[in-house]
Amino acid sequence: MTGAGTDTLHADVLVVGAGPAGLAAAARLAAAGAGRVEVLEREAQPGGVPRHCAHGGFGTWTHPLTGPRYARLLTEAAERAGAGLRTGVTALDWAPTGPVLTTVGPGGPQTLSARAVVLATGARERPRSARLVPGTRPAGVYTTGELQQAVHLFGQHIGTRAVVAGAADVSYAAAGTLRAAGTEVVALVTEHPRAQTSRVRAQAARLRDRVPLLTGTTVTELLGHGRLSGVRVRHRDGRTAVLRCDTVVFTGDFVPDHELARRGGLALDPGTRGPAVGGTGHTSRPGVFAAGNLLHAVEPAGTAAREGARTAGAVLDFLAGAPWPDPGVPVVVDAPLRWIAPNRVVPHRVALGRRTPAAPPAPHFLRTGIPLPRPVLYVRQDGRLLHRERPGPGTALPERTLTLTARWHDRVDPAGGEVRVSTA
């Protein structure tokens, strides 16, 4: 970095976001000798969302960890590799040219420049206001992240009776947090005909046996002044009812935290609403990469960390002189599929100055808008069938990820039209 007394600081790589993707990228970059690697984090502590997820399920099957422990291990790995962690620093905007960011932190405003920038700003849950749920503004309304921080980071009292809007894995995690705080969970409410949970989540399975689940039901109004007194719900047949509670938690409905990407003029994918990228994290702006749940809201922390490490390999190639790739061929989905990531296929080429062996192409993640019994995915370009694949047994659910392999990439015509993925 430059000496004291200057307003502009310089690094080789700036990583924006100290969640699993950002920390994994920083650890690999620093360990590989990428030069000065600086991680910017607007929160007071690094680690991202796992910091306040006290439940297990992080790490690996053989070494399961709680969220805080997983966050500490990622942070320690980045620090041990030599990456610098700057907490309480918010990246505000970009300079007109080059990978240069304006920031504000404990020491005031600063300008930071780098040879490469990795955006790992993650995702957020949409709050009640963005979901257009009417009513007053009473206390006792949370998203999952707000609830977990209040309970696990700040030890705040929540309430006595709660309704959870949603019935996915994150919803049952919220219910578990409420119960741990001594709050009775009145019901989980979902518009879907069934819970959207993974069968392997033991905690969710236990909670399903003890918490009422209202399917085909939506929260339509918040009641109460000063403090929440209940929520009005509507069933699929049009009937309404009031559930008496002093707390409601809106879960799921994640969106990429893409404000910095948008302000940087990066091309965004209309499906994911995150930066449009191929499997190596290159964005439309040379020198700027993206990784983790900024690209797909939202996948598990382990998936984000693996993507961060993979993107770090592409950053190393770029620092060694590899040219910035062409935008590639767009990959889009047909309804009822909602989005796919990565959403570009870059024509195969030999990267110049590779410092690391070429990694196998990253798989694609997809989401569906409705349940699909035993779906088959078809990949086509200009009407030509490139690939056919069954992503797994059973029914695909809206809150569960479908995975599509990249075995068809070498069949894509770089001069052809967009690649379309459909279920028929």
Q: Is 272 left (phi over 0), alpha (psi -120 to 50) or beta?
A: alpha
pLDDT cut 70: percent of the chain above it: 92
Peptide bond just before 336 cis, omega within 30 deg: yes
Please report the pLDDT score of residue 347 as a whole number.
61
DSSP H or E run through 317: helix 301-319
pLDDT for residue 1 = 42
pLDDT grade, residue 398 (50/70/90)? confident
If you average pLDDT over residues 111-140, what whole number do you get?
92
Q: What is the pLDDT of residue 359?
A: 62
How far, in whole angstroms, is CA 251 from its chain's centroid? 14
- The pLDDT of 339-364, averaged and rounded, is 69
Q: From the centroid of its chain, how far is CA 423? A: 25
Is the Cβ–Cβ distance between 179 and 235 less than 8 Å? no
As a whole number of angstroms, the distance between CA 239 and CA 235 comes to: 5
Rounded CA gap, 156 and 168, in Å? Answer: 25
- Does pLDDT of 415 surpass 90? yes
Reduced to 3 states, what is the DSSP secondary structure of residue 136? coil
- Region 359-377: mean pLDDT is 90
pLDDT value, residue 209? 57
Between 79-88, 296-305, 373-382, the lowest mean confidence (pLDDT) is in 296-305
- pLDDT averaged over every residue in the chain: 89
What number is the average pLDDT over the span 295-313? 94
The C-alpha atoms of residue 50 and residue 70 are separated, in whole angstroms, by 7
Q: What pTM was estimated for this model as a whole?
A: 0.89
Maximum separation of any 2 CA atoms in the chain, in Å? 68
- Residue 355 is predicted with a pLDDT of 45
What's the pLDDT band for 292 if we cut at 50, 70, 90?
very high
407 or 349: whose pLDDT is higher? 407
pLDDT above 50: residue 352: no
Please, how many CA atoms are within 13 Å of residue 122, restricted to the half-sphere of its CB? 23
State residue 349's pLDDT score: 46
User: 101-115, 186-200, 376-390: lowest mean pLDDT where?
Assistant: 186-200
| Tokens 């007394």 found at | 5
Q: Annotate 360-409 with three-state secondary structure.
A: CCCCEEEEECCCEECCCEEEEECCEEEEEECCCCCEECCCCCEEECCCCH
Q: What is the pLDDT at residue 54?
A: 80
